[in-house]
Amino acid sequence: MTEHVAQPELKAALDHLWAQFLPQMDERVAVLETAASALTAGELSEAQREAAQAAAHKLAGVLGTFGLTKGTILAREAEMVCSGDADPASAAQLSEIAAQLRSMMAAPR
């Protein structure tokens, strides 16, 4: 198969996978947003913290698969925030990361 034929097919395949995984990625960002809100209110439970950490970890992997290096870096940062001490600065940081991830995923590919 020639390269000029393979490129459109590869893009189509990646676009299909993106569409397939987008709902899961949206849910994972929502988990981060919920954790940031709970953290802001001083009500972040251990289960929420663990869920946010797991969501961030999964986002880092899937965004990297799609070549979104900045998204992977942001998700890893969120994972680290969720593994550390819960304080107001962490809440603001997590909220900002979630907003950046949400914006990145909404951008046309």
Please state, rounded to an integer, the average pLDDT across all residues of the chain: 90
Question: What is d(CA 77, CA 107) in angstroms, rounded to the nearest whole number?
Answer: 21
Residue type, 93: Q
pLDDT digits (tens, 9 = 90+) for 9-23: 888 988 899 999 999
- The fraction of the chain above a pLDDT of 90, given in percent, is 72
Cα distance between the two ends of the chain: 25
State the pTM of this model. Answer: 0.88
Task: Give residue 109's pLDDT.
Answer: 66
Task: Give residue 86's pLDDT.
Answer: 73
Question: What is d(CA 108, CA 104) in angstroms, rounded to the nearest whole number?
Answer: 9
Tokens of 24: 């899961």
pLDDT digits (tens, 9 = 90+) for 82-95: 988 777 789 999 99
